[in-house]
Amino acid sequence: MSDVPSAHPDSASGSAAPALVSDQEREELRRQGILLTKMEDLYNWGRSNSVWPLNFGLACCAIEMIAASMARFDISRFGSEVYRPSPRQADLLIVSGTVTKKMAPQVIRLWNQMPEPKYCIAMGACAISGGPFKQGYNVLKGIDRFIPVDIYIPGCPPRPEALLNGLIALQEKIRGQHLTGPNAPRHLRADDRCEYPVPEFGAHDLEPPANPEVFQPPTIVRTEK
Amino acid sequence: MSLFPAPSPSGVSVRPVNDEFHGDLLEISMGPHHPSTHGVFRMQVTLDGETIVKLKPVFGYLHRNHEKLGENTTYLASMPYTDRLDYLNSMTNNWAYAIAVEKLAGQPVPERAEYLRIILAELTRLLNHTCLAGFLLQDSGAMGTPLMYAFREREKILELFEALSGSRMMCNFQRFGGCRVDASPAWLAAAQGVVDAYGSFLDEFEALLTGNEILMARTQGTGVLTPQLAINASVTGPLLRATGVDYDIRKVDAYGLYSRFNFRVPLGAHGDTYDRYMIRILEMRESIKILQQALRELPAGPVMDPKAKLRGFRPKAGEAYGRIEGPKGEIGFYLISDGSPNPYRYRVRPPSFVNLTILEDMCLGQTIADAVIILGSVDIVLGEVDR
Amino acid sequence: METLEQLRDRLLARFPGAEVTLVTNPGAAAQHSLLLGASQAREIACFLRDDPALQLDYCSNVTGIDWPDKEIVETTKTTVPDPAGGPAKVVEQKTKRLQPGYLEAVYHLYSMALKHGPVILRLRTANRTDQANVPSLTPVWRGCEFQEREAFDLFGIVFTGHPDLRRILMWDEFKDFPMRKDYVEPDDYEWEPTPHGGVLEKAAKHYPVAATPPADTPPAPPAPEGKQP
């Protein structure tokens, strides 16, 4: 158990109470075979090192996602090689490619079916904003219109290294979270909503075209000069 | 009436009715999220026990409005979109589009560019067929290993593409009247190295798979397609040639400079899944021959026609249909110009979309597990099926 | 292979009363086509497939084209003699004529047996609204099945005799035909850093004062609802 990470700098500085045990004392205890850590660190360590992605490819980025799991890039170095075909067993939804309006309800349904704790990576320009296909009549302008996204990876498609970088960023984000307070993971907060509404197919567009609880369109502040 | 009716003339035994002995028919929806559907493809399958009695493909989950976007942008601006059609084979998509526009505008291409296009197209064919073989084996239950081998080789070819065009997958390399940049001698030497080593990789791959008893048991005799049906259903590419029909656009149209090259068109005899696998392996062997010849004979000269115009490109009013033999079949572009900078009509003839016409015919009477490998052997990419 | 003129004459001799017109292509490709009337289109297609000299057994590409109503301005010059006896005046008269729109289905045929082609067939609908139907050629070439469904989905061309004419790419509840030239997509414009072309027009509609944001202005944080500019 010697590879339990020390407290993350964010979490150490963020806690209000002064540390009861100094790092030196903790290190001394560890040499004696006594592991002293915080529940929070242990919980975050466990969560961050076994992020199992959903085996879910949408478009071009999915090929690079597969390439990331192959021998050269070897995503298993980060504990994420276990691609699960079922959303019930997965922790991470990598939205790898263009989300069309026809596909969006299915993506949201998959997200609803995943158990907490769960994370979402928007991989590639299309998943972020519609990308090159943004002006298409059947293209959703970003999956963050319907579900919360943790990490955005730009690129068209992002290289496998970029996906690994995004995964590391996600792990750092997980390690920086607290069990209580405003920086708690989504599922530990009281205001967490477990299910996100699934839009329906309308006569011209999805109904509704976005979930206002998750997404507000950015607006421009016009400066009078 | 016998319990098991005689096979229909097409060799398919389908039992469409359910009596008290057989129980209910089961309707399942495979996809759009399914690990074996190669993306967001969906099959509405009706099963009697394990046997498929009805199968309807459902499309559109990756319909990205390629044609509408192509009509709203200039001719040149559609080139990067073609990369994203069949995202494994951006180089051949580029070429098909360039050929269509060159036909529309009467634009000649210099000889070195034609050679370079052939080199890149055949490398793409190697890449596609290798990945397809890996995915096919993944679908038939060999989890991981064949795909790992395939992606190892894919990375080598992608390195070449990246060195030449700046991007691994979305190369955006061809232009109307030539290629964007020239290949350096170092690049050609690297390509020669990859091509020289590819034959031994294929030997290794085949030693693992081709004679494998499990693979043969799974694929031989499954998903049989007759040549008559294949022709009538506009099937093209390796899927057609596996049925024994000799139709390769590289030979028929002899576009580019393919008439100068010495290669054979492998043909299947049974039209089953195993033949479709073998055809691809044999095509890769022929591609290596073409590549060796092209790299040996590559002439000097410009790679871009000096009179070619890219910015402000406005072809005269008219229409043209240009097609090439892509790794998945005939990929064509149909363009109508009204003299403006944007095409009036921009149409992609997608090979794998049309090839899916006969998916139901191949799957009827087979088990649900075979439907997965039959679909795998059709070789679809959803970016191109739905566009 | 015979020329398209010869083929047209042969078809007219074989099918008396059929409408077969040659549509020339002025472009460099010079791929001319045959426009078929709806009445005998399927019989002609069968003939093209089975004729031993043609054997067009392979229908490669099927697509729709939208030709909306077009206003054509014709200028006619008439010479009016001056009643006073002076030189005759030339009066230009402009007449506007509305060319009714139609939808067109285009088929590219090749022969796998004889390895020639393409022969291009065109079918036209009577108008774009209530009579947007042409005969389906799926009974002749099975390969048309999905592509005709696609033309139905995106253009609204109704192929009579198609075995399974449903929407294929869009969802079933969808009402519009998005590939038509007059399709209006749902208004969900979103701020973009570099709008141009048609996107700039949309941006101008949404932000009437400044069509493009000043370069030094970052996008504001999400505004509360109802406070959009």
pLDDT band at A9 (very low <50, low <70, confident <90, very high): very low
Q: How far is CA B290 from CA B19, B119, B126, B194, B280, in A?
A: 57, 8, 11, 14, 15
Q: What is the DSSP letter of C82?
A: -
Task: Please say whether the beta carbons of B191 and B295 come within 8 A.
Answer: yes
Compute the half-sphere exposure of residue B381: CA atoms within 13 Å on the CB side of its CA. 28
- Collapsing DSSP states into helix, strand and coil, what is residue B222? coil
Question: B67-91 pLDDT, tens per residue?
Answer: 998 998 889 888 999 998 888 899 9
Q: Which of C101, C105, C104, C98 is nearest to C68 (CA)?
A: C101
Neighbours of chain A (3+ CB pairs under 8 A): B, C
Short-list B192, B364, B216, CA closest to B294: B192
The stretch A40-68 carries a mean pLDDT of 88
Q: Kindly give the interhelix angle for A39-48 and A160-175, rounded to the nearest 10 degrees.
A: 160
Kindly report the nearest CA distance between residue A168 and chain C, in angstroms.
27
Assess whether pLDDT exceeds 90 at residue B124: yes
Look at A138 and C170 and tell me if their CB atoms are within 8 Å: yes
Using a CB–CB cutoff of 8 Å, tell me whether C82 touches chain A: no
Q: Which of the residue ranges A121-135, B15-29, B96-110, C126-140 would you say has the lowest mean pLDDT?
A: B15-29
Ranges of chain C with pLDDT below 50: 210-211, 217-218, 220-229
**Dist. CA A125–CA B387, nearest whole Å:** 17
| Mean pLDDT of all residues in B144-148 | 84
**C149 contacts C168 by C-beta, under 8 angstroms:** yes
> Is B344 exposed, middle or buried, given 0-12, 13-18 or 19+ CB atoms closer than 10 A?
middle
CA distance C146 to chain A (A): 18
Q: Is the peptide bond before A209 cis (omega within 30 degrees of 0)?
A: no
User: How far is it, in rounded angstroms, from Cα B345 to Cα B315?
Assistant: 13
Could you report the per-residue pLDDT of C158-188, keeping only the tens digit for each? 999 888 888 898 888 888 899 888 888 887 7
Chains that touch C (3 or more CB pairs under 8 A): A, B
- From chain B, the residues in CB contact with C68 under 8 A are none
Answer whether C187 touches A (CB < 8 Å).
no
Best B84, B139, B386 member to test A by mutation, with max A CBs in 10 Å, is: B84
Q: So what's the pLDDT on residue B3?
A: 43
Mind listing the pLDDT tens digit for each residue in B272-313?
Answer: 899 999 999 999 999 999 999 999 999 988 888 888 887 888
What pLDDT was estimated at residue B4? 43
Contact A217 C171 (CB under 8 A): no
Strands A206-207 and A200-201: antiparallel
Distance from CA of A99 to the nearest CA of B (A): 7
Q: Pick from A59, A156, A159: which is nearest to B382 by CB?
A: A59
| Reduced 3-state DSSP string for chain A | CCCCCCCCHHHHHHCCCCCCCCHHHHHHHHHCCCCCCCHHHHHHHHHHCCCCEECCCCCHHHHHHHHHHCCCCCHHHHCCCCCECCHHHCCEEEEECCCECCCHHHHHHHHHHCCCCCEEEEECHHHHHCHHHCCCCCECCCHHHCCCCCEEECCCCCCHHHHHHHHHHHHHHHHCCCCCCCCCCHHHCCCCCCCCCCCEECCCCEECCCCCCCCCCCCCCCCCC
Of the candidates B236, B244, B286, which has an alpha carbon nearest to the alpha carbon of residue B261? Answer: B286
Least confident range from B17-21, B104-108, B368-372: namely B17-21
Per-residue model confidence (pLDDT) at position C62: 92
**Residues A141-179 pLDDT 10s:** 889 889 989 999 998 889 999 999 999 999 999 988 888
* H or E segment to which residue C37 belongs: none
Query: Is the per-residue pLDDT at B140 higher than 70?
Result: yes
- How far is residue A79 from each of residues A8, A48, A75, measured CA to CA in Å? 19, 9, 7
User: Between B111-139 and B90-105, two packed helices, what is the crossing angle to 10 degrees?
Assistant: 140
Nearest Cα residue in chain A from B169: A157
Alpha-carbon distance B98 to B90, whole Å?
Answer: 12
Percent of chain A topping pLDDT 90: 20
Give the per-residue pLDDT at C129: 84
Closest-CA residue to C61 (of C144, C181, C149): C144
Q: Is B349 on the interface with C (CB under 8 A)?
A: yes
- Reading the block at residue A191, the tokens are 């205001």
pLDDT digits (tens, 9 = 90+) for B343-366: 999 999 999 999 999 988 888 888
B80 cis-preceded (ω within 30 degrees of 0):
no
Pick from B33, B148, B382: which is nearest to A70 by CB?
B148
Residue C163: alpha-carbon gap to chain centroid:
23
Whether the CB of A169 is below 8 Å from some CB of chain B: the reply is no
pLDDT in tens, B44-57: 898 888 888 888 89
Judging by DSSP bridges, how do beta strands C89-99 and C70-80 pair with one another? antiparallel
What is the Cα A206 distance to its own chain's centre?
25
Mutate to test the interface with C, among A139, A219, A223 (most CBs of C within 10 A): A219
Tell me whether the omega of the peptide bond preceding residue A182 falls within 30 degrees of 0, making it cis: no
pLDDT at C228: 40
Across the interface, whether the CB atoms of A72 and B87 are under 8 A apart is answered: no
